[in-house]
Chains A and B, each alone.
Chain A
């Protein structure tokens, strides 16, 4: 059955709610409307307003009440309507969601999921194209997951809901309409594991979320246009990250780059590059490069394509890797 990523997420929510009575879904416009991207379509009708409901416009409230719910034994799956509007909830997330288990010495775990559509490329107005993953991955205690394919969207969301620690689930909104042939329920590698999407020998492309598609596109063009055999690794769980898989790939090819939409300075790629250079030092033929957005606030719709990494920029970077 062909499913879009949005459809896969919707199915994951529905299947999780059917499988476990303690799963509740809420946020702004997720109930009656079914979500501004229809990710929660049909859930309220099927499950009732006790299981899927709308909230006032109160992001801190959404996150804060999710903490109370999880404390009581429910598994709340809440939505921040857009990346740029997740910021009011940052205090609850950083001060409490991330710290509750540690603060209570392990007695209280919060099995909640905060879903956040993120990333650009949808021609949107300001505040709707942010890539805030660095804030979340830098916060100890959070598990940050970002699927790059519809299959992973289903499998990782189900896994995140069943997870005993809080998960920040970053959905690449520009890929909501990506289609894949899926036989549900599809399973995939668990949270915490990266996956090699395309094996290769020339160089390694490390990507997650919306850039997985872009990296694969670059690899196809690389083979056709240059005879380069690129390996593409999908990080999937940004934190805690499966460093072993990334190191193995960089060691194998000797050349690696990280690609993400988020700005370059102190971005997620910087951590991966530092860690790879430390662990694969003796096997690197070239420095680890980063292909990223620029260090500017996300630009307006008409010029965003110049900001976003694309296959061309990735291939330029591969060419630089091969100069060494």
Chain B
């Protein structure tokens, strides 16, 4: 679209009312660019070059050289592409540029992909429930549409959830036991928190396991030879294995880590804070030996005894129950060899140490009785693969089987 814009004779200064065209610098039909001088105008004192404010094709020169043009009358008309404000745009306003013509291109190139809904839209409408209640219903496996809400406006409340029966094996057996046939025990305190964490860990962490048996005979021999320490705490085999675990984790730091689902990162912890599962009357707690990588065998043994004692008599500090980066569970204390423990969130792995029991073992082609211990590692498969997990547990087993060097430093 082309418009004719008139460039009016400007007041070139000092109260000029007219100017004489000394000569034209362009001709009709010429293409001009903005600020290109188009005419020489003579004023009282000087010859002034006048630049065009418009770009385009010169349409009309409003006078010949030698003629006088009054200030404010058209001097030159330019055919301008696009022209003055397009329809709908305001052009300059009193205080600025005004509205603009072209609509900006949308930055949204394609409609965003809609995520597949995780649950099909229910045929019966869902009852109203707060975000918290909805989440808990999912966690507990309760179908909200089967519940009548007792909250305001028929909302399903947390109390309603607690009264509801989860959809699982209990009902799939065909008949729920009548209330007189059941005994309910509410989980409180430590157990309740533990239940929540275990559920979360089990649901969220894709875990795998690796296990092997190690010959702890040499370890037991060296243990018997240890000099007496400053305390009367004995150095248990478990304490030794804890120490060796810290050593092994130095070589396989990927297992001393955590998977950050928000950022998709493996977050390695620098220190090794060993969590030790301790059975107490109040349930299972994890006491933490901080900076195990810096501690001697004797220090670890002492601390283990002290923490376990404090945990059992309820005097343990809250600080000593937090912050573990890798947990070790003493299956041997239950008389058990191995098992698949549940990873202690937010850690990436948990090691089970079985009982040390005499078993037949092959040494130099002979079958002999040896003290054997089974190691079970459960790990977050996002953080480590079989190579790392196997490598760690093999390395630990090696240290257990030939502990001389590791124990000599203590």
Report A's interface with B, CB cutoff 8 A: 254, 281-287, 320, 323-324
Contact = CB atoms under 8 A, between A and B. Distances in A.
B151 interface: yes
B131 A281 contact: yes
A285 B130 CA distance: 5
A291 B189 CA distance: 33
Contacts of B158: 285
Of all A-B residue pairs in the complex, the 10 with the closest CB atoms, nearest first, are: A285-B132, A282-B131, A285-B130, A281-B131, A324-B151, A323-B152, A254-B132, A283-B132, A282-B135, A284-B131
A49 to B, nearest CB: 43
B151 A284 contact: no
B157 interface: yes
Contacts of A281: 131
Nearest to A282: B131
B131 A283 contact: yes
Given A254-B132, A324-B157, 15 more contacts: A281-B131, A282-B132, A282-B135, A283-B131, A284-B130, A284-B131, A285-B130, A286-B130, A287-B130, A320-B152, A323-B151, A323-B152, A323-B157, A324-B130, A324-B151
B315 to A, nearest CB: 23
Kindly name the residue among A281, A284, A286, A287 whose own CB sees the greatest number of chain B CB atoms within 10 A: A286
Contacts of B135: 282
Interface of B: 130-133, 135, 151-152, 155, 157-158
A1 to B, nearest CB: 36
Contacts of A283: 131-132
* Residue among B131, B132, B135, B157 with max Cβ neighbours from chain A (10 Å): B132
Contacts of A254: 132
Contacts of B157: 285, 323-324
B139 to A, nearest CB: 12
A286 B157 CA distance: 9
Contacts of A284: 130-132
Contacts of A287: 130
A282 B152 CA distance: 19
16 contacts: A254-B132, A281-B131, A284-B130, A284-B131, A285-B130, A285-B132, A285-B157, A285-B158, A286-B130, A287-B130, A323-B151, A323-B152, A323-B157, A324-B151, A324-B152, A324-B157
Contacts of A285: 130, 132-133, 157-158
Contacts of A320: 152
A159 B201 CA distance: 45
Could you say which of A254, A285, A286, A287 has the most chain B C-beta atoms within 10 Å of its C-beta?
A285
B155 A324 contact: yes
A142 to B, nearest CB: 25
Nearest to B130: A285
Nearest to A283: B132
Contacts of B132: 254, 282-285
A320 B153 CA distance: 12
A286 B153 CA distance: 12
Nearest to A280: B131
A283 to B, nearest CB: 6
Contacts of B152: 320, 323-324
A284 B257 CA distance: 31
A286 B133 CA distance: 9
Nearest to B150: A323
Contacts of A286: 130
A283 B155 CA distance: 16
B148 to A, nearest CB: 15
Contacts of B133: 285
B161 to A, nearest CB: 11
Contacts of A282: 131-132, 135
A320 B132 CA distance: 17
A320 B130 CA distance: 14
Contacts of B155: 324
Contacts of B151: 323-324
A285 B152 CA distance: 12
A281 B133 CA distance: 11
Nearest to A281: B131
Contacts of B131: 281-284
A115 to B, nearest CB: 35
A76 B357 CA distance: 81
Nearest to B158: A285
B131, B135, B155: most-surrounded residue (chain A CB, <10 A): B131
B136 to A, nearest CB: 9
B128 to A, nearest CB: 10
Nearest to B157: A324
Residue with the greatest number of chain B CB neighbours at <10 A, chosen from A281, A284, A324: A324
A251 B155 CA distance: 20
Contacts of B130: 284-287, 324
A324 B157 CA distance: 5
A270 B230 CA distance: 64
A284 B158 CA distance: 11
A286 B159 CA distance: 13
A129 to B, nearest CB: 34
Contacts of A323: 151-152, 157
Nearest to A251: B132
A323 B131 CA distance: 15
A295 B232 CA distance: 74
A285 B149 CA distance: 13
A144 B133 CA distance: 36
Nearest to B152: A323
A146 B104 CA distance: 43
Nearest to B149: A324
A281 B157 CA distance: 16
A43 B158 CA distance: 58
A140 to B, nearest CB: 21
A281 B131 CA distance: 6
A254 B130 CA distance: 10
A286 B151 CA distance: 10
A285 B133 CA distance: 7
A274 to B, nearest CB: 15
A283 B133 CA distance: 9
A323 B160 CA distance: 11
A323 B151 CA distance: 6
B285 to A, nearest CB: 22
A324 B156 CA distance: 8
A251 B11 CA distance: 70
Nearest to A286: B130
B97 to A, nearest CB: 19
